[in-house]
Amino acid sequence: MSILTGKKGIKILDNTFPSTKERVADLVLELEDSSIFHLELQTQNDKKPLRMIEYYLLLKHLPPEKIANILDVSVEFVEQVIKETNSEK
């Protein structure tokens, strides 16, 4: 291993990655133009939104032109949009 890494390997680790984790998105919607819109709501500011990377990879099986938007927004943002929308009526 030292030829590849410059360091001595000390232990072989488990290389099995089970895929039993179920992910449930907040909203995945097919739009009228057949594109896909994905929305995630969060209650706290997530500095490392790894779940968004997971969702992106899970949606990656779709043709790239099908993915319209992937949004990760706070509940406060959604509440503000609803408030502004209601005030425009």
Q: What integer pLDDT is reported at residue 74 of this predicted model?
A: 66
* Domain extents in the chain: 27-89
pTM of full prediction above 0.75: no
pLDDT tens profile 29-67: 888 887 778 887 777 776 666 777 787 777 777 766 666
- Please determine, for residue 12, whether its predicted confidence score (pLDDT) is greater than 80: yes
What lies within 8 Å, CB to CB, of 9 at 6+ separation is: 1, 2
Q: What integer pLDDT is reported at residue 73 of this predicted model?
A: 63
Phi-psi region of 45 (alpha: psi -120 to 50; beta: other; left: phi over 0): beta
- Between the two ends of the chain, the Cα-to-Cα distance in Å is 67
